Amino acid sequence: MARRIAPIAATFAATAALLITACGGGDDSSSPDDIKGADTGSKSPSASASASTPSEAKRPEITLPSTFQLTFEDWTSSEPVEQAILNDAKEEVRAGYAAIIANEPDGGDALAFYDTENGLAQSTKWIKSYTDKNVTVIGELPAFDPKVSMADSGKAASLSYCTDESKAFTKNRKTGKEVGNPAGTDPEVAYTATLVKSAQGVWQNDSVTAQRGGCSQ
């Protein structure tokens, strides 16, 4: 279920479908700005993350079925810029799971809207780790404890948050078999995302890394 587990935990097990992930961070190039708490393993932002004056962008509508309850606990901030980051990051996560459920290995238009070129390449690897094995996602997945750190430039940010996979499962589209994390697996996953502001004012995901069990550290 975890989106992009760090390489140390990236096991591709057909029977442990919740651990089917794309490779995490670890790219050699630097992150877009000097951000407190940002993962330094991300690629440079793509050209879509321009610093020009933003215009109001029409955000796509994303829907998830009742069989998968993706919730965001306390994703609010009194700071307007931080709230904008939280809002766009939340929709990017929803777009990724919507693509898995819709069996769209390329991620679909909504994910392309919320990802930079680099971010979309990473996201589609993660999505294909599900679609290539003909599985979808079901159950409940809360995302909680979000923390935003801004770059001095105001054009990039780091977002950390956690998810709890205790009640989340994969389901084989053909057989209907449901699979959860193996016994003894820590259900909580800590994420760090790097976001950059596009020319249209959208906070786009440029990279995500994850660490299973990192929420308790």
96 found inside a domain: yes
> For residue 93, what pLDDT is reported?
97
207 found inside a domain: yes
> For residue 48, what pLDDT is reported?
41
CB neighbour list of residue 79: distance below 8 Å, 6 or more residues apart: none
77 found inside a domain: yes
Residue 172, domain CATH: 3.10.450.50
53 found inside a domain: no
Please state, in angstroms and as integers, the Cα–Cα distance from residue 64 to each residue in 7, 61, 92, 99, following that order: 29, 10, 13, 10
> pLDDT for 172-190, tens place per residue?
999 999 999 999 999 999 9
Q: What is the 3-state secondary structure (H, E, C) of 140-194?
A: EEEEEEEEEEECCCCCEEEEEEEEECCCEEEEECCCCCEECCCCCCCCEEEEEEE
55 found inside a domain: no
Paired with 16 in beta bridges are none
Question: What is the domain extent for residue 147?
Answer: 7-24+64-216
> For residue 22, what pLDDT is reported?
29
Q: Give one DSSP letter per residue of the chain, joined into a string.
A: --SSB-GGG----SS-GGG-----S--SSPPSS--TT--TTPPPPPTTS--SPP----PPP----TTEEEEETT---SSHHHHHHHHHHHHHHHHHHHHHHTT-TT-HHHHHHHB-HHHHHHHHHHHHHHHTTTEEEEEEEEEEEEEEEE-TTSSEEEEEEEEE-TTEEEEETTT--EE-PPTT---EEEEEEEEEE-TTS-EEEEEEEEEETGGG-
192 found inside a domain: yes
52 found inside a domain: no
> pLDDT for 9-56, tens place per residue?
332 233 233 433 322 333 333 333 444 333 333 344 443 433 333 457
> For residue 57, what pLDDT is reported?
86
- If one counts every other C-beta atom within 10 angstroms of the C-beta of residue 40, the result is 13
Please state, in angstroms and as integers, the Cα–Cα distance from residue 9 to each residue in 71, 84, 158, 161, 175, following that order: 25, 31, 22, 18, 28
pTM: 0.79
Q: CB–CB of 152/34 below 8 Å?
A: yes
> pLDDT for 135-150, tens place per residue?
999 999 999 999 999 9
- How many structural domains are present in the chain? 1
81 phi/psi in degrees, rounded to 5: -65, -45
Q: CB–CB of 143/135 below 8 Å?
A: no
159 found inside a domain: yes
